Amino acid sequence: MKKIIFYALMLSVFAFAISACGGKKEAPANEVKTETTTTPAETATAAVDYTKWTPNFENGKKIYAKTCMTCHFAGVTGAPALQPEKYKLEDWQKRADMGINVLMTHAINGYTNPVTKNLMPVKGTCVTCTEQDLFDAINYMYREAKAVFKN
């Protein structure tokens, strides 16, 4: 009888050892999981700071004339306009107040105005434009509009 109890005891110790071992194995798997979930967040906070970029106004003028002008000259579909008859400093300045980083994000990804539902299309429809091209075009347009970026 004592022997049976002894074996039962050994068995439970053994079972405990296995479960403890299994528990230990899960721990590194969890650690890996946390690492993979934090990586995208870190990438997001390390976003580009366009305030440190230098605009090429000549290139910006070309990009504007080739693409952006379609809407941003006469204010088509509610775009802020440069055409003297349609131009209002406020249309540009209220956007410039958001800062170049927000404007770049909206130009790259496209932006739907939450109030008017007016749409700035992805890259202003200039699919071949690089970020520098968009940056140059925005700087050119806002300079023409006499609007000043708040940051």
CB of 65 closer than 8 Å to CB of 16: no
Indicate whether 12 belongs to the interface with ligand HEC (CB under 6 A): no
Q: Which of residues 16-75 bind ligand HEC (CB under 6 A)?
A: 63, 67-68, 70-72
Residues 29, 47: Cα–Cα separation, whole Å: 29
Residue 78 in the binding site for ligand HEC (CB under 6 A): yes
Does the protein bind ligand HEC through residue 79 (CB under 6 A)? yes
Spatial CA neighbour of 121 closest among 73, 57, 78, 58: 78
Could you tell me how many residues of this chain bind ligand HEC (CB under 6 A)? 28
Should residue 100 be labelled a site residue for ligand HEC when binding is judged by CB under 6 A?
no
Of positions 51, 109, 125, 130, contacts ligand HEC by CB under 6 A: 125
* CB distance 119 to 112 below 8 Å: yes
93 token code pair: 């300045």
* 3 vs 143: CA distance, rounded Å: 93
Which residues are bridge partners to 120 per DSSP? Answer: 111
Radius of gyration (Cα) for the chain, nearest Å? 29
Smallest separation, CB 124 to ligand HEC (Å): 2
Q: Which of 80, 103, 101 is nearest to 92 (CA)?
A: 80
- Min dist. Cβ of residue 131 to ligand HEC (A): 11
Q: Could you tell me which stretch among 9-17, 20-28, 29-37, 105-113 binds ligand HEC (CB under 6 A)? A: 105-113
Sites of contact with ligand HEC (CB under 6 A): 63, 67-68, 70-72, 76-79, 95, 103, 106-107, 111, 113, 116, 118-121, 124-126, 129, 134, 137-138
